[in-house]
Structure 1
Amino acid sequence: MHRFWLIGLILTLSPAWAASLEWHSAERAPAVVELFTSEGCSSCPPADRWLSEFKNHPDLFTNIIPMAFHVGYWDWIGWEDRFAEPEYGSRQTAYVESGRLSQRYTPGIMVNSEEFRAWFNGRRQVTAPLVASGRLSVTIEDGQLSARFGFESESRPLTLHMAYLGNGLSSQVKRGENAGKTLRHDFVVLDWYRAHGEGDWSVELPEAPEAGQSRTALVVWVSPRDEPRIIQAVGGYLP
């Protein structure tokens, strides 16, 4: 279940969140890779494997942030993707409506909130934007997440996004286009929360979801309130 947060809403915390973490972005944003994928799509496993390769990237979560949004619009073929949520498909639709994506399809790849069709021509390297994006600072302490973002050109209302990611996940697909295959996934978005604000946020973190992952990460990013475009992002693995 995915929740739209209002600042001040208190949710149940996990005891594991007693640890303190701090993440600070550089002035330039990292390369954020968003993969829209589905276990019901036979073309998606190569893209899933490519995203998994970022586990070994030396600048993971500093200069490169990968996320896999599983969509459910192929579930009708015969296999229901357990990681898919309507909100993830809606995010891809928002990219189409904003003109940043030509249409909904899988595997669909956005890099720095722009369509990355070069992947289909064999390109596998991605680069971060060269323009300044402002600094995003995030502190997590005793289950409380505090975030601050400042950049003059983005003074309008903003949305803070928080997504839990899971690594080391797998599914044995029994029906549909991938029937008989064991699919392995990393950086799967397991839960996604949002809070409105104007550059300062303080929210209570919910407990990280458990889907059988071997490792959990949290990614935090800022976007204009009425756009899917990512302005700045930070993240990292959780204890």
Structure 2
Amino acid sequence: MASPLSRRTRLSEPLRFSAGMLIGGLLGVGLLLPHPASAQQTAPPGHTRAVVELFTSQGCASCPPADRLMCDYARDSSIVVLTLPVTCWDYLGWRDTLANEKFTWRQRIYAKLRGARGIYTPQAVVNGVAHMVGSDEKALKKTLATLAVESQRRLPVGVAIVRDDRGFHITILPGEDSPRERATVVLAPFYRERTVSVEGGENTGRKLEYINVARDLIPLGAMPAESRPETPMTFDLTHGEALPDKTDGFAILVQSGDPSAPGRMLGAATFLMPQ
């Protein structure tokens, strides 16, 4: 049964991955190219201080307060917020219309890596390392403040996104203080806003509002451990690759480890299509 704060489930199923899940959508690393003067760029590299991933479900009565809280935090341009709807409660009378099994696996991996016996919703994971009930604003604020001090108020790897008529140029810029560890560059296309009228399960009759709802998590490539500021990485994406299925925004995440064992966030940035 659901607690007042969250709904939990045990890690009763093995973690399974196929090559398509882990490297599906793999794109080649392009050369660093000059960008047209008319191109549009996101916030300066190194501006992002935190990535907050919310694991939520339309089938969980405890989740709407966390969903609303993420809408507030998404207004902070120094925080990358991603809503990751999971499938674990689909059997309770309502199938989440936005859920992706990849997000459920990602949450289970996080739980396994920290030695947890199960997963729960709503759950917020900050910078890949800290977790708390997604509606616990006090805990989230404390974690963000602590991580900001530890990271000198920014993530160590810069991410620049430049758009032109051909698509997007993504540049990964290791800083002087960047950790020398292997990392994965991930594309997360998302819908900026979604409203869902729930017709079954614990949230029957409720209209739920979401922000930055991820559609997918697509590894673009690996950042070698020996990366240096003088050797940035560049990825070139077409508009269709960066914004599939009528998504209107995307995030680029640089996370230590690989999809089977994700670690701390090293860098991130988002792009939003003009409204």
Under TM normalisation by the shorter chain, which class is it?
0.7 to 0.9
Asked which structure has the greater RCO (Cα within 8 Å, sep 6+), the reply is 1
- Corresponding residue to 1:202 among 231, 235, 239: 235
Structure 1: gaps (5+ residues): 10-18
Alignment of 1:134 with 2:153, yes or no, is no
* 1-structure distance, mates of 2:197, 2:45: 40
Matched residues, number? 224
Please say if 1:8 is aligned against 2:28.
yes
Code of the aligned partner of 1:81 = D
Contact preservation (8 Å) 1:71, 1:88 = yes
| Structure 2 partner of 1:238 | 273
CA RMSD of aligned residues (A): 3.0
TM-score for the superposition, normalised by structure 1: 0.79
1:106 aligns with 2:121: yes
Residue 61 (structure 2) aligns with:
42
Residue 167 in 1 paired to residue 192 in 2?
A: yes
Would you say 1:217 and 2:249 are equivalent positions? yes
Which residue identity lines up with residue 221 of structure 2 in the other structure?
A: H
Q: Check conservation: 2:168, 2:237, Cα contact below 8 A.
A: yes
Question: Are 2:94 and 2:200, in contact at CA under 8 Å, matched by a contact in 1?
Answer: yes
Which residue number in structure 2 is paired with residue 157 of structure 1? Answer: 182
Greater radius of gyration (CA): 2
2:170, 2:236 within 8 Å by CA — same for their partners in 1? yes
Q: Does 1:70 align with 2:93?
A: no
Q: Secondary structure at the match of 1:129?
A: helix
In 2, Cα distance between equivalents of 1:143 and 1:43: 39
Matched residues in 2 for 1:117 and 1:82: separation? Answer: 22
* Identical aligned residues as a percent: 25
Within 2, Cα distance between the matches of 1:160 and 1:27? 16
Decide which of 70, 74, 79 is 2:94's aligned counterpart. Answer: 79
Higher alpha-carbon deviation: 85-94 or 120-129: 120-129
Q: Secondary structure of 1:231's match?
A: strand
Q: Is the 8 A contact 1:159 1:196 kept in 2?
A: yes
Amino acid at match of 2:193: G
Gaps of 5+ in 2: 1-19, 30-37, 224-231
Matched residue SS, 2:91:
helix
The letter of the residue matching 1:39 is Q
